[in-house]
């Protein structure tokens, strides 16, 4: 077999479909965000970042940075190994206790990433619980899907947020059969919430475990930023909650929060936990500080909500199509992979606005978009500039608008 030819041919096919990804080198100096530096081999330019998952800018918060540097200088850069071989420190155990408190759970367990936490936990449960059947929302994150697939457990996929379809699938399975419903509280590519209360009711009715991904909710919603499950008052009825340190908390790593029994079980049987080097003590220290700040940062959450509402008002005024939600995620719909890339390129070339194009497999084919995220550090003038730029790029590329009679100038 000509291996090189195989790889080149596959990449060319990928490019022909408009699905090939290019990555930009974006350096984000602390003092200038949302302005950042894009660096190429022979050039450098200042751009505005509009697609960061650092939702509350905690990665650049001076107290967080100071705690990371202090810990780094005192304890070094690495953790020393896996959790069972030298890789457990007081920073790790303190952080797990804090995360359990965030979700009002007995305990939590740290992983190298939220992807690993999802994949490893679902693999372990699906593999170890005999004859378990899993019910998964069709728009679940790749990490959830991969964990379920790897487990080999029987999986039923229900239409996105369709509780009637979910119940029809549950009815077909014996009540005595072990079951688990896997879903997200806030879907990251749409900004749409799940009907979490109704799903919990179905879980009770049909004797199911529940696994909830709160990655894009933690720190941003609910009392003290504890997430949507806490906001809706159902966290005690969710068996396992998955979260991340890499978004609202601005660090890296992921975790699950649950009962003592479930956490001890995953800790004891999950290869993705047992055989992975633990996160750096400095990152754990920074995460502890970020959680402390975020828990008291109601003004940041209010500002984020106000900014999100304002950008939607402006998008409405120029009839730019987007998925209308009340979350901090604004999905601007282009619905073509080549045009989506073109819009992104025009934004950065003509207006120095950086918004990464999103296409398959992250979203279904034909639903390509710009996933715009506004942060508390984006001021009114930044939002005005962003929507003006979108308006011009939309016109330049002759893209369809909605309610075109209502277009105004901003």
DSSP string, 202-247: HHHHTT-EEEEE-TTTTTTSSGGG--HHHHTT-GGG-SEEEEESSS
Tokens of 53: 């998952």
- Of 242, 210, 302, nearest to 103 (Cα)? 242
Rounded-to-integer distance, Cα 10 and Cα 13, Å: 5
Q: Of these residues, 247, 289, 341, 377, which one is catalytic?
A: 247
Place of tokens 């369709």: 162
* 185: preceding bond cis by omega (within 30 degrees): no
Residue at token pair 């399975």: 173
Cβ neighbours for 63, distance < 8 A, ≥ 6 positions apart: 289, 293
DSSP string for residues in 106-166: SEEEEES-HHHHHHHHHHHHHHHSTT-EEEEETT--HHHHHHHHHHT-EEEEEPTT-HHHH
Answer yes or no: 247 catalytic.
Answer: yes
Distances (CA, A) of 279 to 60, 245, 300: 19, 11, 27
Report phi then psi at 312, rounded to 5: -70, -40
DSSP 36-88: EEEE-SS-EEEEEE---S-TT-GGG-HHHHHHHHHHHHHH-S---SBTTTT--
In the sheet that holds 254-258, the strands lie side by side as 107-111, 254-258, 240-244, 209-213, 179-184, 133-137, 154-158
Q: Which residues are part of the catalytic machinery?
A: 247
């Amino acid at each position: 077999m000509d291996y090189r030819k195989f790889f080149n041919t596959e990449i060319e096919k990928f490019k022909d479909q408009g699905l090939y990804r290019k990555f930009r080198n974006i350096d984000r100096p602390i003092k200038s965000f949302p302005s950042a530096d894009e660096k190429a081999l022979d050039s450098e330019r200042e751009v505005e970042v509009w697609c960061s998952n650092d939702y509350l800018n905690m990665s650049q918060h001076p107290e967080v940075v100071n705690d990371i540097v202090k810990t780094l200088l005192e304890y070094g850069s690495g953790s020393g190994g896996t959790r069972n071989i030298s890789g457990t420190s007081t920073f790790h155990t303190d952080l797990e206790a804090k995360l359990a408190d965030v979700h009002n759970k007995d305990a939590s367990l740290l992983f190298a990433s939220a992807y690993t936490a999802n994949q490893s936990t679902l693999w372990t449960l699906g593999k170890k619980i005999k004859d378990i059947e899993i019910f998964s929302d069709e728009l679940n994150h790749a990490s959830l899907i991969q964990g379920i697939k790897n487990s080999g457990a029987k999986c039923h996929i229900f239409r996105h947020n369709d509780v009637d379809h979910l119940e029809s699938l549950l009815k077909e399975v014996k009540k005595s059969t072990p079951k688990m419903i896997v879903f997200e509280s806030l879907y990251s590519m749409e900004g749409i919430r799940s009907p979490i209360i109704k799903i919990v009711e179905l879980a009770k009715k049909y004797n199911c475990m529940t696994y909830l991904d709160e990655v894009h909710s933690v720190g941003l919603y609910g009392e003290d930023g504890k997430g949507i499950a806490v906001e809706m008052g159902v966290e005690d009825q969710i068996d396992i909650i998955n979260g991340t340190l890499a978004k609202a908390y601005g660090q890296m790593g992921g975790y699950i929060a649950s009962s003592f029994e479930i956490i001890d079980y995953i800790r004891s049987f999950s290869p993705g936990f047992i055989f992975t080097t633990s996160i750096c003590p400095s990152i754990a220290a920074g995460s502890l500080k970020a959680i402390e700040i975020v828990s008291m940062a109601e003004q940041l959450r209010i500002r984020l909500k106000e900014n999100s509402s304002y950008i939607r008002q402006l998008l409405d005024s120029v009839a730019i199509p987007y998925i209308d939600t009340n979350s901090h995620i604004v999905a601007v719909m282009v619905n073509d992979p080549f045009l989506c890339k073109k819009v992104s390129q025009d934004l950065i070339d003509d207006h120095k606005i950086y918004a990464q194009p999103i296409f398959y497999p992250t979203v279904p084919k034909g639903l390509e978009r710009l996933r715009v995220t506004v942060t508390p550090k984006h001021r009114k003038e930044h939002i005005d500039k962003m929507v003006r730029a979108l308006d011009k790029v939309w016109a330049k590329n002759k893209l369809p608008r909605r309610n075109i009679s209502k277009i105004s100038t901003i």
